[in-house]
Amino acid sequence: MKRYLPFIIVAAVGLITFGSGFALYRSKKASAPTATSAAAGGIHVRGKADAAVTIEEFGDFQCPPCGIMSGLLHKLGEEYGARLRLIFHHFPLAMHAHAREAAIAAEAAYQQGKFWEMHDILYKNQAIWSSAPDVPALFNGYAQSIGLDVERFKRDVADPATLERVKKDEKLGADRGVTSTPTLFVNSVLIPAPQLNPDGLHKAIETALGESAREKEKR
């Protein structure tokens, strides 16, 4: 039971977040994201390039359901191993005061080869920095804790090119109809919000694995 407790939590939160009348992370007038036939791509990747299944996530570091989803995706990565890879795209929501700052911090960490380390520490400490009076100071502390050159980190945070990389992800998400976080695509197929739970994601992954196996048989 303990093993599935995080999954149960994310399912409940996901349903509340995305449900009709409680869609706090979705624009009321925007249409739902649609599947895309484009090959999955991105610079923030966990897993092998030849993995049978690719999960693309559009996430916001200040979004509580995204924090829970991060833990779920980590567990799925452990479960499926080399068969699964994860691509993260920034999609900071305007409703979150420090989401874009966090995305920029993660991109600055990427400049020193530690995007995922910053990704993980931002979600781990989400409740702390989200309401802190001095967010940059905390981010500098996180940078130091994961072994970054803090002075370089500060320069990269202030570099307009860093913000542009975040904006590029935002545009990609907008072009694909993303309006809320977390939004997930499995092998470029949108996972509907009600299926952002353990059973739904396992089913999507298993379906994608089956399709991948059939494609290999045809070659």
- The candidate with the shortest Cα–Cα distance to 153, out of 145, 161, 164, 144, is 144
pLDDT at 216 (0 to 100)? 77
pLDDT at 23 (0 to 100)? 36
DSSP letter string, 138-157: HHHHHHHHTT--HHHHHHHH
How many angstroms separate the CA atoms of 169 and 58, rounded?
8
Q: What is the mean pLDDT of residues 68-77?
A: 96
CB 36 within 8 A of CB 89: no
pLDDT at 16 (0 to 100)? 40
Domain boundaries in the chain? 2-218
Q: What is the mean pLDDT of residues 2-31?
A: 40
CB 14 within 8 A of CB 199: no
How do residues 129-185 score in pLDDT, each as one tens digit? 999 999 999 999 999 999 999 999 999 999 999 999 999 999 999 999 999 999 999
pLDDT at 26 (0 to 100)? 39
Q: Would you say residue 5 has pLDDT above 50?
A: no
pLDDT at 148 (0 to 100)? 98
Q: Would you say residue 18 has pLDDT above 60?
A: no
Q: 76 vs 73, 98, 155, 205, CA distance in Å?
A: 5, 28, 35, 9
pLDDT at 32 (0 to 100)? 45
State which CATH number among 3.90.79.10, 3.40.30.10, 3.40.50.300, 3.40.47.10 fits the domain covering 2-218: 3.40.30.10
Q: Would you say residue 34 has pLDDT above 70?
A: no
Higher pLDDT, 39 or 211: 211
Give Cα 84 distance to the centre of its chain: 15
Q: 123 vs 39, 41, 69, 181, 218, CA distance in Å?
A: 27, 23, 10, 14, 41
